[in-house]
Structure formats: C-alpha cells, structure tokens
Amino acid sequence: MIIRPREHLMQDGMPPSEMLGSVLREHAGEAIRLGKLRDIYENKSTILKRTRADGLPNNKIAHPYARYITTIATGYLIGNPVTYMTENDHETMKQIQEIFRRYSEAAENVQLARDQSIYGKGVEYAYVDESAMPKSTTLSPLNAFVVYSNTYDMEPLFGVYYLPRMKANGDPDGWRIWVMSTTAIAMYESQRLDDLPAPMTVEPHYFGGVPLVEYWNDENENGDFECVLPLLDAYDKLQSDRVNDKEQFVDRLLVLTGVILEEDEKGRKPMQQLREDHALQLPDSQSKAEYLTSEMNETDVEVLRKSLLEDIHKLTLVPDMSDAKFASNASGVAMRYKLLGFEQLTRTKERWFTEGLRSRLKLFIHFLGVKGFPVLDVADIKITFTHALPANLQENAQTVQNATTARAVSLETAVRMLHEGSGWTDADVKLEVERIRVEQGVNLEPPIDPALGDNEGNPPAGDQGENDSEEEIGEDE
C-alpha cells in the first residue's frame, strides 16, 4: 500500500509532479515482486533457469502448484456469482443489477478474485460506456494502484494507471500515465516516469470518488501462495533431481579390472562392441567387470516429497482435493472439519472482497444519482457470497426432516437448509417457497405431533382429555 499526506495535494485534488513521480517509483519497485508472483503462477519456475556442468542431465520439471492454489481458492470464494439484495426492490439497485448483467459482472469478479489470489490485490477501473452508463473493468496490479491518505481511515486520494507507449514498429516510446482524483482524470505523456510535464488533458468524472478500486487479499496484500515460494522451488528441484538420478543410473559407468579392450577384427571400437554384442569376454578369473553406481533410496525421497506437499497445503490453508481424506462418502460435518482452515482463509478473503464491492457500488450509485435515480445507501445492500462446496443433499434432507417434524423451522428455512451448499441465492429460495405454496394451494406448516400439541398453542391431546375429565367430575358434584 502506498501512502501520502493529503495536505500535499493541489487544490483540484491532483498530486503535484514531485509526488506523482515518487509514487510511480515506489510502485515500480513493488512491481518486481508482483512480476515474480505472476511468473510463478504461469509456471515460470526458478528451476527453469538452473544450469549444470556439461555432460550431466539437467531436467527442469516445473509444477503448476501456484495455479492449483489460486484456482481452488478463487473457485471456492466466487465460483457462484455474488448476489445483491435490497428491501422493496429499490429502483437504483435494479438498474445496477441490469448494468451488471449487460457487462457480465460475475466474470469480472472472477478475474478480480484471481488477481487477488495471485498478487495480493485486484484492481478495478470504473468508467462511462458509450450508452452513458457506468461500467467497470479489471486492470493489472503491475500497472495500476491507489494511493491512500496517512490518516486513520486510509481514504483513497488518487489512482494511477500507466502503460508504455509504442511506435508503429513496436519500439518503446515513453509512457502514458492516467491520474484519477475524486473529481477528474488527468493524462500525461512522458519519456521517463521520473520527469513528468504538465498533464495533456484533464477531464471531469461524476463518480463521487476515486474511480480506481483495489480488492485486497488480506491486510498485508499478500498472495495465497506467496508464503510457500521456497517450498514450491524445493519441490521442483526434488522432482527434477529425481529424474536426473534416474538418467545417471541408466548411464552408469562400467568399470573393467584386468581387461584391455581393443578394436576387433571387424574394426569395431570397444564401445560399439559392447553396444552391439551385449557381451564381454574376460581373459581370466582374476578379471572382472562391474558398474559404478550410487544407491538411490526411493523410500526416503518419496517421504520428502509428501512432506513438502503437506507443508505447502498446510501453510496455504488450501486442501489437497486428491487426498483420500476427501472421500465422496464423507459426512458433511467431517468435511467441514477438514476444511476449517480453508474456510477461515475464505472468510478473510470474502471480507476484503466485500469492501471492494461496496466501493464499486458507491461509485455506481453516485453516478446514477447524478442521472436522476433515487438515492440508495450502500449499507442497505445485502451482499451474499455462496461458497462452491459440494452439497450432501441426503444429509441435508435428513436434517430438514428432523427439524420440520419438531416444528423448529419455517418452510422458507427448510428450503434454505435443504439446498445449503448448492449455490441457491435468497431469490432462489423465495421463488421455490412460492412454487410450493402455489402447488399445494395452502400455507404449508410442519406436521402436528399429537404429543406436542397443535400450532394454535393448545395443549397435547392427553392433557386436554384430563382437563375435560376434571371439568366433568366437577359438574357431577
């Protein structure tokens, strides 16, 4: 995170050239780390740069474990689309949802979550499309960032997006920089990032805030696999050396004692004779031939391999879904215990992602307010994540049956419990409840257990009978 004092901004909210140059240099240093994370995700591992002496096997086996970690973490967090709800179907929220539908907001969220997992943050830019409606798109964290104030609330001061310019033949031709304050967007062009002239253009925007939003992965902006980079390198090296040892074992040296090999009558050299005849004649009993080898303890190597994998999954909190512990017949409770750490990780990612979504909604709501739409408080919008966990419908059905028999849940709650883990949204649940009511033609209630009494609060049948008997006795007297 890049921090600067608000008091050094100019009156229009734009940073002076000195401040802009300093934040660009600071981000250029951070981009080195981000570039390394991108390379690891793309399986450009350190092992690919390893060299060995001539004549020695040099296998370079890179494993895309970083991609696996990101795929699992991202899919679980946002594999099901995020849903937004307001009470009474607010007109502004309806318009925002229509905008989201048009530009496939769900797909953009997946991209943001992927960048969040890789780089520790995703970056989103809000702009106005050709129909004069708000829209957003993702930008690479290697080229875009937000600068925050040094106050307790760390309020966004301005955003920066910069790209290298190119000539027609593809040669570099300086830089183009966009700076976004809370009211305007300025565009610069310069040959160097540390020597910026006055902006070429300054255009107002109507989002009511900095139209560049960061989606953090955690408070330190760390990627999901960043903490295990040394373990990933060690795993690649172990597996590469394992194959190297196999090759060296196949190409092992033949040691001859008391034997001199010469060309035979066919003019074949000793190496050719051995390769073609697969036999060797020794001159006497004192002579011998044996291979020079080093013993490979495959058991120890396999133990080390498994240990590295266990550490990778334990420290990233991302489970190994191919593990036998995740059997298809495992109960829901057992599965939740196995995923406890992963669930906590996802909850943290979800909270920070929600902050980004709220910032996006604030920008859209303000822009639509300028266009005349009703005011909507972002705090009144319910944002719901549905984690993509396999559902155990049989277990859910048993739980619902028990709860319904005990008259402990309503029809809506029963439907929600039945489809827990299936990706159902609040709207899906309400629609299903209405369908059930229409099909049955009645307001369904749980079945009445005579031992518990009816739904009107009357006592059980046995108690009612005793009361009736007492009343009858009293009358007889």
Following DSSP, what letter does each residue of 105-141 receive, concatenated?
A: HHHHHHHHHHHHHHHSEEEEEEEE-TTS-EEEEEE-T
Instruction: Give this prediction's pTM.
Output: 0.77
Q: What per-residue confidence (pLDDT) applies to 459?
A: 56
Q: Are 92 and 378 in contact (CB under 8 A)?
A: no
Q: pLDDT band for position 454 (50/70/90)?
A: low
Instruction: Out of 81-90, 201-210, 333-342, 367-376, pick the least confident.
Output: 333-342
Q: Is the pLDDT of residue 43 over 90?
A: yes
> Confidence class of residue 470 from pLDDT cuts 50, 70 and 90?
very low
C-alpha distances out from residue 342 to 89, 98, 474, Å: 34, 33, 67
Strands (E), 170-312: 172-180, 184-190, 201-204, 212-216, 253-257, 288-292
The predicted pLDDT at position 156 comes to: 94
**3-state class (DSSP) for residue 29:** helix
State the amino acid at position 385 in one-letter form.
F
Count CA atoms closer than 13 A to 151's CA, side-chain side.
7
Q: Which residues contact 60 (CB under 8 A, 6 or more apart)?
A: 47, 48, 50, 240
- Considering only residues 223 and 246, tell me which one the structure prediction assigns the higher pLDDT: 223
pLDDT class of 41 with cuts at 50, 70, 90 = very high
Residue-level pLDDT at 285: 73
Cα of first residue to Cα of last residue in the chain, in angstroms, is 88
Residues written for the chain = 477
* Per-residue pLDDT at 385 exceeds 70: yes
Q: Is 196 in contact with 17 (CB distance < 8 Å)?
A: yes
Say what percent of the chain tops pLDDT 70. Answer: 85
Would you state the pLDDT for residue 108?
94
Query: How many whole angstroms separate alpha carbon 6 and alpha carbon 18?
Result: 14
HEC secondary structure over 285-344: CCCEEEEECCCCCHHHHHHHHHHHHHHHHHHHCCCCCCCCCCCCCCCHHHHHHHCHHHHH
Copy the structure tokens of residue 383: 């944002």
| Contacts of residue 407, Cβ cutoff 8 Å, sequence gap at least 6 | 445, 446, 448, 449, 452, 455
Measure the CA–CA gap between 24 and 16, rounded to whole angstroms: 12
Residue 455, pLDDT score: 47
Residue closest to 359 by CA, chosen among 106, 116, 89, 125: 125
pLDDT greater than 70 at residue 327: no
> Is-contact 222 120, C-beta < 8 A?
yes
Per the prediction, the chain carries an average pLDDT of 84
Is residue 474's pLDDT more than 80? no
Three-state secondary-structure class, residue 190: strand
According to DSSP, residue 448 is labeled: P
Higher pLDDT, 388 or 421: 388
**Average pLDDT over every residue of 366-371:** 94
